[in-house]
Structure 1
């Protein structure tokens, strides 16, 4: 039977597709527009918008399990179709924002809770994944600044998070999609340690072989520097949550090791592999 991966072009979805394909599982990857979707040889690519599933027959044909990427919008029709098509199990990628104080009742948390509620109401057996602060957030939030200026501005740099390597998230998802033994209702995934944001920048600097100064931004300065792609309300929520994490250790779980059999990867592992994202000169050596 085939495993369907929605959001197959994303950071995590693409890795789930690759790991499943490498293990020999029949995989079908979906995206709203597959013209730019790159999948491994042997993987079928199908256009699919789970909030507007006009034709889900091709996507769900012979599908036994689904990796579900969270989206804003109503997924009820797609999930009902998945149940009718004989899908046996779903892994939903969610976020701790769905339950954390300061987030669960604000836009990010509400969007994830709505997706979880739709899945629960569908009656499909499932596990919800709650990965901690993704290591790739460093590239998203700081990459351009570090490439262009060699330094980075951060509000509340003493806030603590627990970076998780996205390969660990993908590996847990693959294990759950293909093995039954760890299929709990939820799995909270973290990296091996709680770190301050300024410590993470320090680890990036070590990976690059040069210090990266941190400029502490005020709340107002951070809002004024909001990237165009991020809604203001989302940034306000993130800043409030970050402020509340100053001096508060982030939780650590052993879920990655329990599910995959190996300890969760350190942030340093990710930083070393992605030096070129922060220093263009590094690309000359790869």
Structure 2
């Protein structure tokens, strides 16, 4: 059995490839440009753009299960080829933005819903993963500022999230790709507890060994500091969602433990393993 992992350059896709290869599974990692891929020993590279079906037959040769990383664009043609290739099961990485109030009909939610709809229309058996606030968001959004200033500016720092460790997401995906027991239509993955954003920052400070100050930003200030790579409509949506989470505990599920057999990892465990990024 060959397992295809699309989006192999991503944090979750890369970790998933390693888990599968270490488990002795035959695995193939795909990217639009394979020259930039760093694959674990034994993994095969495959050049693939899921929005352009050219070459898809080769990438899908012998594939029984597939991890699908969401991407903006038309994926229907690729998924129809996957169905013709008799792929037995697909695990799609989606987002709660696909169904949450205030997000499902906005830019991020629409992208994820389009991929989910294409997968449904393909007729392929599938499970959709909805991981909550990824622990890696802390590195993406705050690491540079913390390294440079020892502080971080956040709008609505009392908003609550449930950070999930990417290793837990990868382990759940690996189980679903290799075992039939927990293949349902959707699985919602969260960390073990609801935390205010300022508590997440405090956990980073403890890991780094020095307190990290939280500067509370207004919405206007947050928009003024927008990374040019972040479209303004997307940031506005995220700020609105964050505002609605102030004082509201984030939902917590037991999905990670139910599927992997161990409790969901604490955010502090991820922070400890990645402390160098914040120093």
Deviation (angstroms), 1:219: 0.2
Match of 2:21, SS state, is: helix
Q: State the superposition RMSD in angstroms.
A: 0.5
Any idea what SS the aligned residue of 2:216 has? strand
SS of residue matched to 2:83: helix
Q: Which runs of 4+ in 1 moved over 3 A?
A: none
Residue aligning to 1:151: 151
Distance 1:28 1:17 in 2: 8
The TM-score normalised by the length of structure 2 is 0.99
1:228 Cα offset (Å)? 1.2
- List per-residue Cα deviations over 1:181-222 (Å, max 9, x = no partner): 000100000000000000000000011111000000000000
1:268 aligns with 2:271: no
Deviation at residue 225 of structure 1 after TM alignment: 0.3
SS of the equivalent of 2:115 reads helix
Q: 3-state SS of the aligned residue for 1:268?
A: helix
- The answer to whether structure 1 residue 210 and structure 2 residue 210 are counterparts is yes
CA distance in 1, matches of 2:171, 2:221: 38
Residue 31 (1) aligns with residue 31 (2): yes
Say whether 1:188 aligns with 2:188: yes
Q: How many residues align?
A: 279
Unaligned stretches of 5+ residues in structure 2 = none
**Partner residue, 1:128:** 128
Match of 1:284 in 2: none
Question: What secondary structure does 2:230 align onto?
Answer: coil
Q: Please give the residue correspondences for 1:98-137 in structure 2 after superposition, counting only pairs within 5 Å.
A: 98-137=98-137
Q: 1:191 aligns to what SS in structure 2?
A: coil
The offset of 1:101, in angstroms, is: 0.4
**What stretches of structure 1 of length at least 5 have no aligned partner?**
280-286
* SS of equivalent to 1:262: coil
CA deviation vs aligned residue, 1:140-188 (integer Å, no higher than 9, x gap): 0000000000100000000000000000000000000000000010000
Q: Separation in 1 of the partners of 2:239 and 2:34?
A: 34
